[in-house]
Every structure is written in structure tokens, then in C-alpha cells.
Amino acid sequence: VENCLKNKVFTGVCTSVCKTNIDDLVTEKWVDRLIEMGVFYTWFHVYRPMGPDANEQLCLSPEEMLRIRKFVVEMRAKKPIVFVDAYYDHAGQALCPAATGITHHINPWGGIEPCPIVQFVTDSIHDESKSLVEKFESPFLKDFRELARDTTRGCIVLERPDLLANLVTKHTAKDGTVRATAMAELNAMQVRPSQYNPAGAVPEKSWAYWIAKKLFFNDFAVYDGRDHSAKSAPSLLGRREVGTVEATGPAVVPLDLHIGKS
Ligand code: SF4
């Protein structure tokens, strides 16, 4: 970060918040340190246990996710640094940017994936036989958006990995990784809570963020008329139709926030 700032690179600090860093980094002290360093924007997203070394012990509880949301809303109204987030609209209602269709992901080999952690592909940007619009409107991506919208306002990967695995199988989507273990990783996941917390919407306090989100980053009405009480994780966990996956946190190593401070 210091090298980027020294060389006048537009710099942001993105944190995958988990059990072992939430107390150190979701703090005013850490935000003040970033401001002091000259960092332009920050982003606190929530750890997802995907990939070859997924560690479910690091996952956050719904209360911890709500704590991050409240912190970001407070800090946005108070600190001279930009806070990015992709999980909520202006009213604090959860959303998934891949479900709304505002983002998808292109992997290093050109494969078009629903999002960075759903690493399955049916199309490539290098295939010249189809237009980019056709590729983003492919049956796989269209079905992904429809399934995600219909299941939850939150993250389908966290909440219903089982439904996602069925979708991948139905479309015979290829593993987009070099590991070739994406399906095994998906199958190893359990039903978990995500940013969708029907009882805990925290609206923006900063008028600038409120307006910007209302105009440019909202759910684009894709959830209108959908009932998420059947398939979403908060409903299943609330009705005890699946087991609670609350983990005891791993050992925490305290961070020294003054490393590199001159
Ligand atoms: S599926 Fe989950 S990780 Fe992917 S974009 Fe949606 S909320 Fe984010």
C-alpha cells in the first residue's frame, strides 16, 4: 500500500472481514490509519469459505455482518474516505450484484463466470462466434440470475450452495479454475447466513451515498414480487430445517496497525 501511495497510484484497501480480523480492522482506528496514509477508498466485504483452503471457522455470524453494516453506514457519514460496498441498497436492503445483473466476472483465461467466487463457465470472451450481449444473456447466466433472485436477496453461494451446484450440473458448466476442484469445493459448503437479514436493514445516513445508491446501485426491482421465505438461509435456519453452522473462532493473532508507519 505504501509503495502504491508513494508512486501516486489510485489506492484502495479492501478487507475480507472474518472472525480473526473483525476486531482489529472494523474499527475507527484502522479507518483513521488509512486516511492518514492517504488511501482513497476502502471496502469491507465478508469472507466466503470458497476455494481450496476454505475455513468455515472464519465465517461471520449474522450479528457480526450487521455490525459491519452499521459501522460502514456510520463511517460513511463521518470520515473523509470513500467506503465501497456491494451488498446493500440505499435503504439497507440486501442485494447480490450478480443477481441484479450489474456485475459478472471474467476470469484470467477469458471465461465468463456469474461472479468471482462462482467459478463455472459456459462462454468465453475469446469466442468470436457470439456477441458479448449473447454471452451475458446465455442460458447459464440467465438461469443463475433467476435462481439467485428467486432464492434470496443475499448471497446464493453462502445460503444455497446445493441449488447452485444443481444449476451448474444442469448447464454442464465447466470448472473455470486451474485447480479443477470448483465443484468439490461447492459441494463441501453448507447452508449459511449471508448479508440477507430481513430484520436488520440499516439505511444509509449519508445523503451522498443515499442518493448515489438510489440512482445507480440498487436492486433494479429484480426482487419485486418474490417471496424468499421458502428457500433463503434465514428462513431455513429459522425453521431449523438445516443445522446451525455457528463455528467457534480460530485462535486470533493481534495485528500491529503501526507496521511501516514513519
Ligand atoms: S453470489 Fe454472493 S459472492 Fe457472488 S456476487 Fe452475489 S453476493 Fe457476491
Q: Are the beta carbons of 40 and 87 closer than 8 angstroms?
A: no
- Cell numbers 503501526 label which residue? 258
Q: Are the beta carbons of 135 and 123 closer than 8 angstroms?
A: yes
pLDDT at 242 over 50: yes
Percent of the chain whose predicted confidence (pLDDT) is above 70: 93
Task: Compute the CA torsion angle 47, 248, 156, 204 (nearest 10 deg).
Answer: -60
Cα 246 to its chain centre, rounded Å, is 19
Choosing from 45, 50, 96 the residue with most ligand 1 atoms within 8 A of its CB, the one to mutate for a pocket test is 96
Q: What is the mean pLDDT of residues 147-172?
A: 98
Q: If you ran DSSP here, which 8-state letter would residue 234 be given?
A: H
31 C-alpha to ligand 1 centroid (Å): 25
Residue ranges with strand state E in 115-169: 120-121
* Average pLDDT of the chain, as a whole number: 93
pLDDT-derived band at 52 (thresholds 50, 70, 90) equals confident
Provide ipTM, 2 decimals: 0.99
Domain residue ranges in the chain: 2-238
Better pLDDT: 60 or 52: 60
At residue 51, the pLDDT reads 87
For the CA of 98, the closest atom of ligand 1 is: 5
For the CA of 158, the closest atom of ligand 1 is: 2
Q: How many residues appear in the chain?
A: 262
Q: Are the beta carbons of 113 and 107 closer than 8 angstroms?
A: yes
Q: β-strands 112-113, 105-106: how paired?
A: antiparallel
Ligand 1 neighbour 157 (Cβ under 6 A):
yes
For the CA of 97, the closest atom of ligand 1 is: 5
Residue 249 CA to residue 251 CA, distance in Å, equals 7
Cell readout for 169 is 450440473
pLDDT digits (tens, 9 = 90+) for 121-143: 999 999 999 999 999 999 999 99
Closest Cα partner for 193 from 223, 154, 163? 154
22 C-alpha to ligand 1 centroid (Å): 20
> Ligand 1, atom 2: nearest CA belongs to which residue?
155
pLDDT-derived band at 251 (thresholds 50, 70, 90) equals low
> Ligand 1, atom 5: nearest CA belongs to which residue?
98
pLDDT digits (tens, 9 = 90+) for 160-177: 999 999 999 999 999 999
Ligand 1 neighbour 117 (Cβ under 6 A):
yes
CA R_g for the chain? 19
Closest Cα partner for 168 from 160, 131, 227? 160
Ligand 1 neighbour 155 (Cβ under 6 A):
yes
